[in-house]
Each structure stands twice: as structure tokens, then as C-alpha cells.
Amino acid sequence: MAPAFDVNSLEFKLPDLGEGLTEAEIVRWLVQVGDVVAVDQPVVEVETAKAMVEVPCPYGGVVTARFGEEGTELPVGSPLLTVAVGAPAETRAPEEPAERALQAAEESSGNVLVGYGTGAAPARRRRVRPTRAASPAPAAASVGRGPQRPPTRGDGPVPVISPLVRKLAREHGVELRALTGSGPDGLIMRADVEAAIEAVARAASAAAAGVAAEVREGVALKAAVHEADEPIRADRAAARRQVEAGQEPTRAGAETRHPLTGIRGLVADKMARSRREIPEATCWVDADATELLAVRAAMNGATNTAKNSATNTAVSGRTAERDGQKVSLLALFARITVAALDRFPELNSSVDMEAREVRRFADVHLGFAAQTDRGLVVPVVRHAQARTTASINAELIRLTEAGRSGTLTPGELTGGTFTLNNYGVFGVDGSTPIINHPEAAMLGVGRIVPKPWVHQGELAVRHVVQLSLTFDHRVCDGGTAGGFLRYVADCVEQPAVLLRSV
């Protein structure tokens, strides 16, 4: 007699893919109704306000329904698809700690991925479970409340409920069964996987070589903007012809409306919130960057020597590639910023008004503003205080290329504690930027241009840069902000000053 099967249809909801995200747009379905999918198989590609993400399904089975066509924008927590799964009713495994954690996570925020998402308290409701065959009493007792013990690995389910955590482990070759989770009931969190990755390779990863080609989403965005503005161009051309004919133009042109969605909507929300909540102030200083440019030229002049020596020694390929890259000015400013934050840690903080506290961070997670085809993004160089200049430079290159190609992950775009803004690339001298909420400060760097400058008592042409610091006046007074900016300027003018702190 064939065994009886308990078939359930599980609904997979759009998970919370990152801090502050409330919706995502379906770009491309990767499965069709009727397809058989495996656990953690990517089923849909979505575009959020921060990144393009392939969403893996935590269930294995047959796809029975899809919700939403390509181009549809869905809110977080809404159904993506349903999967029919089945197992012999007599052999249903007892509820694992990971399943209990999954229930708590879904009650918390409607299918939140561990390592991203919210931390709201669980709502007072129970999840409706499908009817299952009765289990023997000893098996039921095994899942009752009692002393919390680390989950048994063996061949049972691995206690991890986040598809992105599984994907991160798979991409880096981390064996999840070998990890002990730090979450409830031994649940494996994103931080556990990242710690395992850092344990086997603590050195910073080298950036990919070459400049990324213009990507599909960038081309599509430009085409969409061009198409939306086409009526305006046509009306302007008609108006010019009327003026040339001596007639009064009947209309100046039609208006077009562009929805504040995706990354543009996220930027708008964050900027407005920053202006509402943060009492910011800005101070400026001009600095002679001639010596800094000379130091950079000397460092990059040694690049070929480093490459040649790496081929004749036992230096690893990753280290040789990192050390052989040319150091950018942004990397030098980043290194100076980290040293300044070590002297003035008040600026590496954020304000919690509900607790009426200033949270001062030990780690410097340095964000840097980058303009891409999809808009402004702020990738984060994590643990910048522990990196060398070469390591910071390699990470800046890697994150910049990922931003251009639209492959930045939510984890690479969140968690910053201080932001460096190089608006000099736009050919402007100064700016009063809006602080990247909830951070407490932002250092701005203008363009470096030759100017008359008094150097060693004589008038000379020097390369001058304007530096600005916008800071939250709740975390410090002007003396601290001025001291920070003055130290940065001193390091720019005399890079040897930086050697005292490295």
C-alpha cells in the first residue's frame, strides 16, 4: 500500500531585503507555474531602492501560483508565489528550533530575512498551521518548552531561515552545519556566517579589475527618461518654429510626472527625515593639497615595483593585486578621515532621542557617496579603522564597480557610521550636504585646483582643496567639529602628520 502524503501549499512572501525598504519591483521571474524548485533556488529577480536582488525561495516543491507580473511593484510581506510541498504523514519530523524561529520572525514583520529587516516585537497572534497527522507523545514532548540547547546537526534541518544567509554561506563555501548560531534556539544569523568568512580570510578582498560596462538597468533607465521627456522636446520644437514665424507660441510644453519610487524615493525620504530631525551645522577650511598629490604620485610610482616584486616572491595573488593597484585620492581622504575619527570619536556616533542617548561606535564603517546610473548610493567600507590604505583603496574600487553594475547588496549599503562625500568630481568647490541619517557627520571634499597661495612666506601657485564638515550639533559643539576639520586639513597639507597615528 502506498504511503499517505501530507501535501501543503506554502506561501512565500516578499521578504524584507534591507533596512528602510518597504517595496520592490519584479524585474524578471526565474520560474514558471508548474516548475519544480529546490530549497534556496532563486525564483525572482527584484529591484529595490538599493540593489538588484535575486530572491531565493526557502521551500522546495512545485510552484502552483505566482503573484505579480514583471514590472509590478509589491510591498514587503505580500505574496510572491505558492509552493506545493509534501512528505509522508507518518514520518513528519518534529518541529525544529529553526521552525519556531521562523514563526517568531514571520510574526515580527511579515517574513523578514534574518540579518536585514526590522526588530519589532512579535505581534500577539498565532500563525495558522496546516493540519498535520498526529505525532506520538514522545515526539511531541521533544518540542515542548524546556532548557534551551544548541540544535543537533546530524542530517536534520539546518537552523537557518534566511535565504540570503544560506546564499551568503553557499557563495563563500561556508558549511552551515559546522556553525553554532547566536540567535534564538541556535538560529544561524548573518553575523555568524560573516564571522566564519572573516575567520578563514581576514584580509580584505581585492577589487575586480577594469571598469564595469554600462548595465541593463542603466540603459533602461536612460531610455525611460528619454521617452518620458520626448513630449516636452516636441512641444519646445513646435514653440520655436512659431516664434521664428513671428507667431505667439500657444503653449510652452506639456508637463511630465515622474513617481518618487525606487532609489529616488528612498533618497527623498532619507533626506527629508534628516532635515526634520538633525540640527546640523557646517564649517569649512581651505587646504593646500600639493604635498598630498606628491605623496600619491610617489605611492603610485612604486606600483610597478610592487607588481614586479610580487611575481618573484611568495606573496599571494590577492595581496599582490591589492598592493599593485593605484591609490586614489578618495582612498587617501578616507584614510585621513579614519585617523581623524580616532582623535574625535564623538563624530562617529548617532543620536537615539527615544532613549535620550548618543550611541558612540567603536568600529568605523565608512560610507562614501557614489553617483550611478540608478541614482545616488552610499556603499560602506566596513571596519575601516582596521584597514590599511591599500585595503581601503581596494574596497573602494570594488564597491564602486559593484555600484555601477547594480550588484551592491543591501548589506553593503547599510550600517554606515560616517560618510565621506567627494563632490569635487562634479567640478564644484564646496557644498553643504545633508547628513546621511542616522549618522552624525559628513566630510565633504571639493575639487583640487591651482590657486595663488602663500607658501613659506612667498606667493606661489599651489593645489588647493576646500573641505567642509557638516555635523549634528547634538553630538558635539563647534570646538570638536573644528578640531576634526583642522586635523584633516593638517594631514592634507602635511601628510607626515598622519604617520604619527599609523
Lowest mean per-residue pLDDT among 341-355, 422-436, 472-486: 422-436
Q: Which of residues 120 and 71 earns the better pLDDT score?
A: 71
Output DSSP code: residue 426: G
Q: What is the mean pLDDT of the chain?
A: 76
What is the C-alpha separation between 32 and 41, in angstroms, rounded?
A: 13
Residue with cell 602635511: 494
| Closest by Cα among 281, 440, 269 to 351 | 440
d(CA 287, CA 467): 7
Q: Is 490 exposed, middle or buried (0-12, 13-18, 19+ CB in 10 A)?
A: middle
Q: What is the pLDDT, as a whole number, of residue 266?
A: 77
Instruction: Work out the number of other CB atoms within 10 angstroms of the CB of residue 492.
Output: 26
Which tens digit of pLDDT belongs to each residue from 1-11? 444 445 678 89
Segment 279-300 mean pLDDT: 94
- The Cα 265–Cα 468 span in angstroms is 27
The whole-number average pLDDT for the span 50-54 is 73
Q: Report whether pLDDT(485) > 60.
A: yes
Quick one: which of 26, 4, 2, 3 has its CA closest to 14?
26
Residue 75: which residues within 8 A CB-CB, separation 6 or more? 14, 22, 23
Confidence of residue 114 (pLDDT cuts 50, 70, 90): very low
All three cell numbers of 159? 537552523
Give the cell for residue 51. Answer: 540593489
Does residue 193 have a pLDDT over 60? Answer: yes
- Determine the average pLDDT of the residues in 226-246: 68
| Catalytically annotated residue among 172, 258, 455, 473 | 473
Confidence category of residue 147, pLDDT binned at 50, 70, 90: very low
Q: Which of 143-147, 301-305, 383-387 has the lowest mean pLDDT?
A: 143-147
Would the pLDDT of 94 be above 60?
A: no
DSSP symbol at 78: S
Q: Residue type at 205?
A: S
Q: Is 473 a catalytic residue?
A: yes
Is residue 349 pLDDT above 90, yes or no?
yes
Q: Is the peptide bond before 438 cis (omega within 30 degrees of 0)?
A: yes
Cα distances from 421 to residues 105, 213, 275, 318, 353, in angstroms, run: 36, 24, 18, 28, 26
- 3-state secondary structure string across 16-29: ECCCCCCEEEEEEE
On the question of pLDDT at 491 being above 60, the answer is yes
What band does 390 get if pLDDT is binned at 50, 70 and 90? Answer: very high
16 has a pLDDT exceeding 90: no
